[in-house]
């Protein structure tokens, strides 16, 4: 069910400018905040700095064939010249670039190289996310203190497990229950099946290494339930064109699922093109009373008011908003009594990978364009430190056949070359890492004191880098990947380290971390600012540590949990 124009043209609400709740950001976590708050009867305003996007209507390339794209999907030279940063993003192409920013429109200052990947529109990066939905293990909430590289979370797995289930049932996650400590089971739809080479690799790894290559968990409707059909979504067609926007609603995004669901309640108002300048703090009341917004088109300034506020602008933008929300009470940013705001920024390490040729199963092939891939569950430092580095890593992997055997083709010409080109080449197996990184005080963001954006808001300065722990983890990953590929019978094995800057993983986290008390954190166990209890932060900024699993479903679960707590506190008169 698409979001209608009337959703954000609510004359009565606009005149009053007052709501029960305001949500800043409409992406993965912001959409969940809106859904939960609206369902419970709260008149909710969602502020989005980008343009309006409606499900199906605003997916211009969703059903185009390659020959219908001017450059057959490739990015033209002029676009690359103007966008050297955003064009590095995974999935960026001629068919998806409308869901990414343009570099010149949104500058920031890199004190150290950091690739900040952004998509500003209703739905945010939920339109272009990778869709991996592994649960954190019980160990990841306590590993930082046990292994001496940080502090524990104020919550554990048991606190978040029912909210994982709540989210999984609604968004639709395919996968298998494997009984693994490192990757807990959940509420799953049937998975996409392994091909023969993947099945061979999985059996080899389990037999020779006692490691587990299993179906990863992906936000795809392989077998929609009545709940998903009621959302207006349908079965994933295995086109693997997800980042164009899925007209079938086969994968989860805010614009296909949570926001339309919130709209049905009659409690939702969306205001796109709204750049949040700062939060308005009332010293007498000891709380935030509203939001100051700049219209991105006209430059006009508006103020909106609410009883509670959810910050879901994406991790670094959430830090920016809080840092820019200064007052006599909070001269260094809202809630920043102890100087933690903007510090302990972290990310996931995606630098390393490996690949090899598998000279088996040459009489077999596969059908469809599987939008998922298997995963080798973390096998390092699980529950105890056993390596010369801390933390662990997830390994994404998969197998496919090349289009044509290049070695054969280079020896052919004419009709023989044409015939060779249509035959499949050998199987290839790949692996790449998603490694945990250490949140450090030195990894931080701050506001520029000299440069502003076109709306007069200070530019964000990023100062984030790798460390020796990352280097040691990369070395171990590449060694182990080579061994696993060799054991599976692969030849021509290669490994790589891209050396890419932090940020390209698109999993930036931290800066407004959860903790047990104001002296060690910005947020309490319910994602509330310690110093301003009616403000909740539930996007990546709230992360105390990164873990090795993909974080998006944790953001969603934390958001649902915090929203329901906020409603309970409102009903008790505590907010």
Question: For residue range 485-539, what is the model confidence (pLDDT) as tens digits?
Answer: 999 999 999 999 999 999 999 999 999 999 999 999 999 999 999 999 999 999 9
Beta bridge partners of 496: 353
Mean pLDDT rounded to a whole number for the chain: 94
Banded pLDDT at 227 (limits 50, 70, 90): very high
The pLDDT confidence band at residue 232, using thresholds 50, 70 and 90, is very high
- d(CA 500, CA 506) in angstroms, rounded, equals 12
**Mean pLDDT on 184-195:** 97
Dihedral angle computed from the Cα positions of residues 93, 98, 102 and 107, in that order, rounded to the nearest 10 degrees: -120
Burial (0-12, 13-18, 19+ Cβ within 10 Å), 472: middle
Q: What is the pLDDT of residue 413?
A: 78
pLDDT confidence tier of residue 402, bands split at 50, 70 and 90: confident
Q: Which residue has the tokens 């945010």?
A: 124
Q: Residue 7 pLDDT more than 60?
A: no
Is the pLDDT at 15 greater than 90? The verdict is: no
Q: Taking residues 256-285, report their average pLDDT.
A: 98
**Phi/psi of residue 423, each to 5°?**
-85, 140
Q: What are phi and psi of 272, to 5 degrees?
A: -75, 180
Q: How many other β-carbons are positioned within 10 Å of the β-carbon of residue 83?
A: 20
Which pLDDT does position 108 carry in this prediction?
98
Share of the chain above pLDDT 90, in %: 91
Q: Which tens digit of pLDDT belongs to each residue from 343-358? A: 999 999 999 999 999 9
User: Of 49, 121, 23, 100, nearest to 273 (Cα)?
Assistant: 49
The reported pLDDT for the residue numbered 415 is: 75
Under a CB-based contact definition with an 8 Å cutoff, are residues 173 and 218 in contact?
Answer: yes
Is 156 in contact with 137 (CB distance < 8 Å)? no
- In this prediction, residues 27-55 reach a mean pLDDT of 98
Provide the pLDDT for residue 280.
98
Per-residue pLDDT at 9: 42
Q: Beta-carbon neighbour count of residue 492 at 10 Å?
A: 12
> 448 vs 293, 427, 463, 480, 495, CA distance in Å?
20, 50, 12, 43, 39
For 545-573, what is the mean pLDDT?
Answer: 97
Query: Which homologous superfamily does the CATH classification assign to the domain defined by 5-73+86-132+230-348+441-465+504-571?
Result: FAD/NAD(P)-binding domain (3.50.50.60)
Q: Computed from CA positions of residues 188, 124, 8, 536, in that sequence, does the dihedral angle turn out positive or negative?
A: positive
The dihedral formed by the CA atoms of 194, 200, 202 and 205, expressed in degrees to the nearest 10: -170
Percent of the chain with pLDDT over 70: 95
> Which pLDDT band holds residue 10 (cuts at 50, 70, 90)?
very low
Q: C-alpha angle with apex 250: 97 to 163, nearest 5 degrees?
A: 105
**What are the phi and psi torsion angles at 35 (to 5°)?**
-60, -50
Whether the per-residue pLDDT at 8 is higher than 80: the answer is no
Q: What is the average pLDDT across 302-315?
A: 97
Looking at residue 11, what is its pLDDT?
43
The residue extents of the domains of the chain are 5-73+86-132+230-348+441-465+504-571, 192-215+350-435+467-497
396 has pLDDT over 50:
yes
Is pLDDT above 90 for 198? Answer: yes
- Pairing verdict, β 427-435 and 393-401: antiparallel
Provide the 3-class DSSP secondary structure of residue 345: strand
**pLDDT at residue 528 in the model:** 98
Residues 6+ apart with CB under 8 A from 47: 22, 23, 24, 25, 271, 274, 276, 291, 293, 304
Confidence category of residue 405, pLDDT binned at 50, 70, 90: low
Find all residues with CB under 8 Å of 22, minimum gap 6, and list them: 44, 45, 46, 47, 290, 291, 304, 306, 308, 309, 310
- Count Cα atoms within 13 angstroms, Cβ side, for 351: 23
- pLDDT number for residue 196: 97
Is the pLDDT at 454 greater than 90? The verdict is yes
pLDDT of amino acid 411:
66
Closest CA to 555 of 374, 310, 345, 270: 310
Q: What is the pLDDT of residue 260?
A: 98
Mean pLDDT of 85-93: 96
Contacts of 36 (CB under 8 A, 6+ apart): 559, 560, 563, 564, 567
pTM for the model stands at 0.95
With beta carbons less than 8 A apart as the criterion, state whether 139 and 528 touch.
no
First to last CA, the chain: 33
What is the structure's pLDDT at 412?
Answer: 63
38-52, 154-168, 356-370, 474-488: which has the minimum mean pLDDT?
356-370
Nearest to 105 by CA among 23, 49, 48: 49
Q: Of the candidates 71, 60, 65, which has an alpha carbon nearest to the alpha carbon of residue 99?
A: 60
Amino acid 4: pLDDT: 45
* pLDDT above 50 (res 310): yes
């Amino acid at each position: 069910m698409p979001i209608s124009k009337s959703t954000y043209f609510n004359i009565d609400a606009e005149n009053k400018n007052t709501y029960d709740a305001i949500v800043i950001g409409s992406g993965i976590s912001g959409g969940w905040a809106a859904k939960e708050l609206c369902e419970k009867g709260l008149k909710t305003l969602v502020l989005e700095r980008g343009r309006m996007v409606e499900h199906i209507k605003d997916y211009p390339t969703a059903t185009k064939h390659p020959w219908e794209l001017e450059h057959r999907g490739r990015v033209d030279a002029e676009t690359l010249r103007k966008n050297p940063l955003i064009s590095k993003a995974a999935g960026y192409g001629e068919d998806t670039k409308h869901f990414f920013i343009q570099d010149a429109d949104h500058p920031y200052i890199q004190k150290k190289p950091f690739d900040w990947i952004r998509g500003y529109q209703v739905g945010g990066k939920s339109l272009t996310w990778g869709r991996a939905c592994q649960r954190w293990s019980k160990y990841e909430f306590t590993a930082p203190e046990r292994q001496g590289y940080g502090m524990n979370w104020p919550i554990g797995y048991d606190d978040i497990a029912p909210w994982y289930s709540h989210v999984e049932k609604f968004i639709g996650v395919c996968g298998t229950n494997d009984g693994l400590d490192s990757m807990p089971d959940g509420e799953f739809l049937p998975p996409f099946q392994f091909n023969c080479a993947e099945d061979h690799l999985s059996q080899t790894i389990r037999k020779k290494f006692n490691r587990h290559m299993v179906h990863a968990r992906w936000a795809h409707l392989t077998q929609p339930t009545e709940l998903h059909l009621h959302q207006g979504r349908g079965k994933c067609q295995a086109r693997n064109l997800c980042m164009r926007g899925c007209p079938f609603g086969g994968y989860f995004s805010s614009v296909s699922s949570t926001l339309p669901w919130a709209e049905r309640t009659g409690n939702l108002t969306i205001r796109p093109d709204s750049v949040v300048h700062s939060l308005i703090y009332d010293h007498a009341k000891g709380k935030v009373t509203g939001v100051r917004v700049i219209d991105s088109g006209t430059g006009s300034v508006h103020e909106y008011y609410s009883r509670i506020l959810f910050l879901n602008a994406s991790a670094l933008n959430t830090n920016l908003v809080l840092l820019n929300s200064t007052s006599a009470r909070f001269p260094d940013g809202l809630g920043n009594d102890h100087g933690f705001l903007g510090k302990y920024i972290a990310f996931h390490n995606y630098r390393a990978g490996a690949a090899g040729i598998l000279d088996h199963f040459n009489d077999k092939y596969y059908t469809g364009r599987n939008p998922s891939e298997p995963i080798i569950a973390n096998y390092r430092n699980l529950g105890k430190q056993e390596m010369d580095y801390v933390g662990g890593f997830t390994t994404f992997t998969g197998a496919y056949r090349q289009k044509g055997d290049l070695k054969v083709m280079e020896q052919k010409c004419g009709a023989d070359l044409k015939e060779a080109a249509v035959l499949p080449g050998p199987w290839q197996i790949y692996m790449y890492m998603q490694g945990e990184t250490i949140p450090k005080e030195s990894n931080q963001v701050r506001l520029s004191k000299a440069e502003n954006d076109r709306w007069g808001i200070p530019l964000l300065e990023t100062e984030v880098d790798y460390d020796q722990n990352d280097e040691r983890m990369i070395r171990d990953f590449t060694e182990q990947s080579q061994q696993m590929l060799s054991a599976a019978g692969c030849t021509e094995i290669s490994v790589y380290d891209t050396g890419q800057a932090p940020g390209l993983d698109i999993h930036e986290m931290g800066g407004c971390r959860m903790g047990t008390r104001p002296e060690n954190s910005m947020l309490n166990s319910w994602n509330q600012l310690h110093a301003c209890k009616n403000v909740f932060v539930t996007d990546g900024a709230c992360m105390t540590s990164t873990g090795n699993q993909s974080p998006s479903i944790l953001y969603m679960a934390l958001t649902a949990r915090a929203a329901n707590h906020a409603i309970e506190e409102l009903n008790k008169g505590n907010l």
